[in-house]
Amino acid sequence: MSAEELVRMSLAELIKAYAARHLSPVEVMETTLSHAQSVNSSINALFSFRAEEAIAGARLSEARWKSNAPLGLLDGVPMTVKDSVAIAGWPYLHGIRANRALPPSNYDSPPRAPGRHWPRVLVSSRSVPILPARFGCRRPIADLPL
């Protein structure tokens, strides 16, 4: 599957393809990761890629879909999490340059805590939009003076 084919699909079409076994969460994740990593140097929107974790999660999801036991309709759908959401073991910069020397988060923030049980597969963290990050973002695309 190409990235172009994937982005043309609606979420409903993706879920139907999983259910019919025309697509697997692993195939979709590999396409997602490949495309994200190939364009990210230009758009600088994602960081802290977790390719191995994402593929492992996609494999678990694929097994559930094959057993007709997905954890929900969004089981295996790739997703990212904003840098302003703490995830245990992940860098937690909150879009601020001064935070880059901090150790990884040792907790999940409230928006993430229930997500430990979500069936979606995390790909990476994504940059905080420019307005919340106006005091100095680690990533140059959002480090523009206002």
Asked if residue 69 has pLDDT above 90, the reply is yes
Please choose, from the candidates 45, 64, 61, 42, the residue with its C-alpha nearest in 3D space to the C-alpha of residue 53: 61
Lowest mean pLDDT among 39-48, 53-62, 113-122: 113-122
CA distance 31 to 123: 12
Q: What dihedral do alpha carbons 52, 18, 14, 87 form, nearest 10°? A: -30
CA distance 25 to 59: 7
Average pLDDT value for residue range 52-71: 93
Q: Supply the pLDDT for residue 87.
A: 83
Q: Supply the pLDDT for residue 108.
A: 82
Tell me the pTM: 0.77
Q: Supply the pLDDT for residue 137.
A: 47
| Mean pLDDT for the chain overall | 80
Average pLDDT value for residue range 19-39: 94
CA distance 139 to 128: 9
